[in-house]
Amino acid sequence: MNRFNRVVTALAVAAALAGCGTGQISQSADQAPAVNGTSATVGDLALRDVRIQAVQDGDALEAGQTVDLLFVATNQSTDTGEELTGISSSIGKVSVVGGRSVPAGGVLVVSAPAGPDLPTAPASKALSEVSNASTAAATVTLDKAISNGLTYDFTFDFKNAGPVRIAVPISAGVLSHH
């Protein structure tokens, strides 16, 4: 075997061995989604980007204040619809206004309610013409002070899938002042 053949063979073996290690420890293997909220699954329902949206100006958001609860519920069943029957939390009373159904193969998008800064709730504006989507707004009237950097337990109850408990973070959201 001449020198050229040995070099070519050595390079081929080196390339093959280098390829064996690819993908074993990648930078993106353990990355979380680039959303502010958290997620959970119960039955055929997937809760995604669940978060409290509030602008915290002081040390905490005080009892008596109202904050928004945002999330997307996706029904992965193609034939059975679902319904959100309630949301509870130890930090306050949760009120849901609007649709509560999660159509088969569809979504329920719960976004910030309309207000002076948001004349139309973003979800209802974008999803008004989608047949398998429902929209709602949810608020939490706080019974106790809460603070950024912590999570708070919420229980979502669904008619067929039952309850799911999830630790929900606070997100400053789109209304924060930079």
Which whole-number Å values give the CA distances from 139 to 71, 125, 159, in the listed order?
12, 19, 21
The model's pLDDT over 137-147, given as tens digits with 9 standing for 90+, comes to 999 999 999 99
Cα separations (Å) of 101 from 30, 68, 117, 163, 174? 33, 19, 27, 15, 26
- Measure the CA dihedral 168/153/111/170, to 10°: -40
* Most confident by average pLDDT, 24-33, 142-151, 165-174: 142-151
Report the CATH fold assignment for 35-173.
Immunoglobulin-like (2.60.40)
User: Average pLDDT for residues 67-72, to the nearest whole number?
Assistant: 94
Distance CA 51, CA 38 (A): 7
Predicted TM-score (pTM) of the model is 0.72
